[in-house]
């Protein structure tokens, strides 16, 4: 019998905010992260240690990580290369994230590097992490476009499985599988997971589903059937990807929470609905949006 314990991994402060055109202050980013931690979310991705030239919104990554009250939650940050990794490890992060795309087209659009080059780079970053990261810091790997790519079309489940096995074998504690353009059908997710769980344990996998076509919750349901118990979500549905046309954002944390509770699952950290609603209001206030305006992202 599969466990009824699940976890929501919050990505709003990083994935949700990184593409906002107007710079959001460090104080506001810290306040949002604190609100999410106060709501009971145990793990929060709050920063990205990338070049400010490419992602200006994340220029204050170190200030944000260092500004959150220690112990409020386990903070994660994205590190695309060794320079970012070194900068992140100089802060009190609890987890680092690396990423790779499942297709040639998205890899070149997103990072200006071939898929083979991206594989080589991520392996190098993981090797450095394993050699230099303090004990207790966890490593998370992202795979983008696990069912379909905006440039290359449908993605073979075997390719996703190959990359997931590579990341897991290299040292990632957890691998998040991303429906980056948010158009996957449950049947596509099932075919992908059928291949992936053969090579990586389900407990080491997370589902990262954008809700562009309104099927994120259905894809979570399929993932639950395959044994996944970790799901990424973004408060107020914030986010999107500039290299995935039409992808309006990650699935809303409040929607995922309500859906999992309705299905009888126990959510790690016991986040409360009132706290999540308060964090969502803060997110909208920070971005100058009114209730419901998030749908237009």
pLDDT in tens, 181-221: 999 999 999 999 999 999 999 999 999 999 988 999 999 99
Distance CA 68, CA 46 (A): 10
- The alpha carbon of residue 39 and the mean position of all alpha carbons in its chain are separated, in whole angstroms, by 18
Whether residue 242 contacts residue 266, with contact meaning beta carbons closer than 8 Å, is answered with: no
Domain that holds residue 16: 5-296
Cβ–Cβ under 8 Å, residues 273 and 281? no
d(CA 177, CA 276): 24
Say which CATH number the domain at 58 has.
3.20.20.70
Q: How far apart are CA 190 and CA 230, in angstroms?
A: 16
Q: What are the backbone angles phi and psi of residue 235, rounded to the nearest 5°?
A: -60, 135
* b/e sequence 170-182, b meaning 16+ C-beta within 10 Å: bebebbbbbbbbb
The SS3 of residue 139 is: strand
Mean pLDDT on 151-179: 97
Neighbour tally for 225: CB within 10 Å: 13
For residue 293, the model assigns a pLDDT of 34
What pLDDT was estimated at residue 241? 59
pLDDT of 232: 98
Vertex 80: Cα angle to 74 and 84 (nearest 5)? 75
What pLDDT score was predicted for residue 44? 98
Integer CA distances (angstroms), 295 to 92, 164, 255, 285, in order:
34, 31, 13, 15
CA distance 4 to 135: 29
What are the E-state strand segments in the chain?
5-10, 43-48, 74-78, 95-101, 138-144, 148-149, 153-154, 174-179, 205-209, 230-233, 266-267
| pLDDT band (50, 70, 90) for residue 288 | confident
Q: Within 13 A of 42's CA, how many CA atoms are on the CB side?
A: 9
Number of C-beta neighbours around residue 278 at 10 A: 15
Active site residue 172: no
Among residues 46, 149, 172, 241, the one annotated as catalytic is 241
Q: How far apart, in whole angstroms, are the C-alpha atoms of residue 186 and residue 218? A: 6
Question: Count of alpha carbons within 13 Å of 2, Cβ hemisphere only?
Answer: 12
pLDDT tens across 56-109, in order? 999 999 999 999 999 999 999 999 999 999 999 999 999 999 999 999 999 998
What is residue 240's predicted lDDT score, i.e. its pLDDT? 63
The pLDDT assigned to 294 comes to: 33
Total domains in the fold of the chain: 1
């Amino acid at each position: 019998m599969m466990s009824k314990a699940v976890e929501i991994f919050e990505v709003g402060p990083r994935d949700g905010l990184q593409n906002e055109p107007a710079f959001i202050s460090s104080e506001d980013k810290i306040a949002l992260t604190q609100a999410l931690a106060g709501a009971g979310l145990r793990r929060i991705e709050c920063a990205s240690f990338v070049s400010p030239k490419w992602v200006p919104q994340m220029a204050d990554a170190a200030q944000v990580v260092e500004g959150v009250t220690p112990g409020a939650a386990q903070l994660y940050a994205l590190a695309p290369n060794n320079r970012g990794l070194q900068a992140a490890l100089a802060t009190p992060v609890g987890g680092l994230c690396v990423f790779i795309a499942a297709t040639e087209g998205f890899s070149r659009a997103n990072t200006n590097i071939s898929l083979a080059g991206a594989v080589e780079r991520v392996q190098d970053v993981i090797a450095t992490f394993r050699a230099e990261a303090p004990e207790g810091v966890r490593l998370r790997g992202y795979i983008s476009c696990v069912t379909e790519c905006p440039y290359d079309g449908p993605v073979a489940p075997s390719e996703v499985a190959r990359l997931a096995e590579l990341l897991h074998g290299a040292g990632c504690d957890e691998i998040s599988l991303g429906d980056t353009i948010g158009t996957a059908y449950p049947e596509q997710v099932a075919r992908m997971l059928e291949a992936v769980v053969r090579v990586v344990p389900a407990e080491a996998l997370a589902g990262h589903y954008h809700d562009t076509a309104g099927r994120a919750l259905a894809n979570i349901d399929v993932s639950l059937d395959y044994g996944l118990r970790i799901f990424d979500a973004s408060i107020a549905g914030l986010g999107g990807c500039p290299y995935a046309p039409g992808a309006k954002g990650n699935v809303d944390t409040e929607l995922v929470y309500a859906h999992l509770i309705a299905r009888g699952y126990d959510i790690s950290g016991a986040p409360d609905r009132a706290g999540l609603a308060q964090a969502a209001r803060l997110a909208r206030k920070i971005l100058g949006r009114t209730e419901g305006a998030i749908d237009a992202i």
